[in-house]
Structure formats: structure tokens, C-alpha cells
Amino acid sequence: MSDPVSSASVGRFLTLADTAQILNVSVAAALDLVRTGELPAIRIGATGAWRVERLVLESYIEAKYEEARRLSLWEQSDFGNIPELSEGRILRPGTPSEGDQPG
């Protein structure tokens, strides 16, 4: 038997519980993503239940993969070790600081 959440038979819109299950997070975490606007959703009906469009969720997941890929590439680049460009963080441990250089 297939997972009902991943099945196309569920339809165009997902509940927050379905969304949370797909993302493997709590319903509260899914609600937080929606409330902050990170994950676009709409309110339906008199109770104002949140619904996330399946295609929007898939796009969100793809965007997160792309974000992770770009961050990984940035951290591997020569620019990833410049504190001014990496929010004050030295991304590669063990890199000598200015005071550690000989001379």
C-alpha cells in the first residue's frame, strides 16, 4: 500500500499535517514556516484551515536543496573564509589568522 500523502490521489492541496509529514517536521514547525511566509499557503473555509499547494511544497523543497548546494559551494570557495563576506565567521577551521602568520 502506498503512502497516502505522497499519492497524487490526495489532490492539489495538502493540510499542514500532510505537509509536516512530507517534510518530516512537526505540525508546529510547518505552521511556523507558513506563518513566517517562508512556505506560501492559503486559508480555506470558515475555520481558516491552512492549505499548502502540492506544487508549491515541491518547489520549496527544490529551493532548499539549491540553497544547501550553493552554501556548500560558498563554504568551499576562497571567499568563504573572508569574515566580512561570511557574516564574521571563519568557515574553514584551522586557517591561520593574521596574528598567526610568520613575518
Of 7-11, 16-20, 38-42, the least confident: 7-11
Instruction: Give the model confidence (pLDDT) of 71-98 as tens digits.
Output: 888 777 776 666 666 666 655 555 555 5
- Amino acid type, 7: S
Indicate the pTM of the whole model.
0.65
Return d(Cα 82, Cα 32) in angstroms, integer. Answer: 33
Return d(Cα 17, Cα 7) in angstroms, integer. Answer: 15
The residue with cell 517562508 is 38
Pick the CATH number of 9-83 from 2.60.120, 1.20.1740, 1.10.3470, 1.10.1660: 1.10.1660
Continuous segment of H or E residues that includes residue 43: strand 42-44
What does the DSSP assignment read for 5-42?
Answer: TTSGGG-SEE-HHHHHHHHTS-HHHHHHHHHTTSS--E
| pLDDT level of residue 103 (50, 70, 90 thresholds) | very low
